Amino acid sequence: MTRCVNTGWIKFELEADKGCQVHYQRLKTFLRVYENLSFKKAAETLIMTQSAVSQQIAALERAYDSELFRRKGRIIEPTAEGKALYDWVAPIVAAVEDFPDRFRALKNLEHGKLSIGATEEASLVLAPFLARFCGVYPLIQISLRIDAEERLKQVVLDGGLDFIAVDEIPDLRRDPSFKYLRWGREHGFEFIVPPDSPHLGPGRPASLNLSRETFLMHAQDLSLRSFVSKYFSITRGVPHRVIEIGSLGAIKKMVQAGAGISVIGDMSARAELQAGLLATVRDGVLETLKRKTILLLPVNREIVYSAWAFRRMFVGERKSAFAAG
């Protein structure tokens, strides 16, 4: 189509492209001559005439204003300039020749990297899918950064991560810098208490009375904090004391030690519950609160093949459970 448009810049572009191809071919010819120290053997390797090989070397020597080979009858030797050119050009040509295989491997995900960020609780949702991804693409190098949501957003926008996984925050206005992909399966919350907590006794009310309790609040999980605040608003319950804790692990250890009670995601303490280190208390209001995990992908960035494959594993095979927008 561009050949029908008679403009100067298109003609120049076509001529420049042709010139690059010619020059690249001359460099390949130079490498074969250098490696064989023979115009004749280089011609046989390249399926060219010997005179064509000689012409291409001569053209390079004119272009660089340098003698590349010394000719002594049928014997040739590379000059200092020829040796320098070989050192510069050989790895470049080798890399270019390797491009088709590398692209095939990239598209087939035979190698590559995937950098993911996630909040503590969102990482628990991702875990089984990461395990499955590793099984399907064992040569992809995966890194997972666990951090607070706001820091993760900045890192992914700066190019340090391919995407991030966070839990939704009710009524939050969406950030236009990201595309949102929501995992359709909802997950809820639970009160965790020590195994000897009085809240576990018979005849307890449907909702907990927190007026005499120390409540351990996750300091960095914005989603969890928002749902806890919503719970307090609905029940009009106010804990006797609220202590901000920096990590999920620290919260669970403090509850085990009897320092207070807390609300966490319903996937967050399975090991401790099975081991009898923690117990859960049913709460009618809390059971009505549900949230979904969201993948955030930068809007103005090309998605890498590995990230595309991870997303496809969800979207392509679980359309009923994963929704975009």
DSSP for 33-65, written as a single string: HHHHT-HHHHHHHHT--HHHHHHHHHHHHHHHT
Is residue 226 within 8 A of residue 169, CB to CB? The reply is yes
- Classify strands 75-78 and 69-72 as parallel, antiparallel or unpaired: antiparallel
Q: What are the angstrom distances between the C-alpha of 166 and each of 41, 133, 148, 183, 229?
A: 62, 19, 9, 10, 18
Choose one of 57, 87, 104: the last residue of a domain.
Answer: 104
> Could you give the CA distance from residue 182 to residue 188 in angstroms, rounded to a whole number?
15
What CATH number is attached to the domain comprising 69? Answer: 1.10.10.10
Residue 6 sits in the same domain as residue 100: yes
Residue 9 sits in the same domain as residue 95: yes
125 in the same domain as 79: no
The CATH number covering residue 207 comes to 3.40.190.10
Gap between the Cα atoms of 20 and 26, Å rounded? 10
Q: Do residue 207 and residue 254 come from a single domain?
A: yes
**Dihedral over alpha carbons 100, 106, 109, 110 (to 10 degrees):** 60
Domain's final residue, options 104, 132, 165: 104
Q: For position 206, what pLDDT does the model report?
A: 56
Same domain, 73 and 203: no
* Same domain, residue pair 161 and 77: no
**Domain ends where: 87, 104, 121?**
104
Do 10 and 68 fall into the same domain?
yes
pLDDT at 19: 60
197 and 155 share one domain: no
- With vertex at residue 108, the alpha carbon angle to CA 105 and CA 112, rounded to the nearest 5 degrees, is 65
Are 28 and 94 found together in one domain? yes
User: Measured between alpha carbons, how far is residue 136 from residues 59, 110, 129, 143 in Å?
Assistant: 51, 10, 11, 16
Q: CA–CA separation, 43 vs 128, rounded Å?
A: 57
> Residues 254, 236: one domain?
yes
Q: Does residue 94 sit in the same domain as residue 208?
A: no
pLDDT of residue 261: 93
Instruction: Kindly report the backbone phi and psi dihedral angles of residue 308, in degrees, each rounded to the nearest multiple of 5, phi listed first.
Output: -60, -40
State the residue range of the domain holding 194.
189-288
Q: Could you read off the pLDDT tens digit of each residue along the chain, which spans 325 residues?
A: 333 434 443 343 444 455 677 788 899 999 999 999 999 898 998 899 999 999 999 999 998 999 999 988 778 899 999 999 999 989 888 888 877 766 665 566 667 789 999 999 999 888 888 888 888 888 888 999 999 999 999 999 999 999 999 998 877 788 899 988 877 678 899 999 999 888 886 656 556 788 889 999 999 888 999 999 999 999 888 899 999 998 999 999 999 999 999 999 988 999 999 999 999 988 889 999 999 888 899 988 877 888 888 887 766 544 433 334 4
Together in a domain, 148 and 210: no
Q: What is the pLDDT of residue 12?
A: 38
Q: How many domains does the chain have?
A: 3
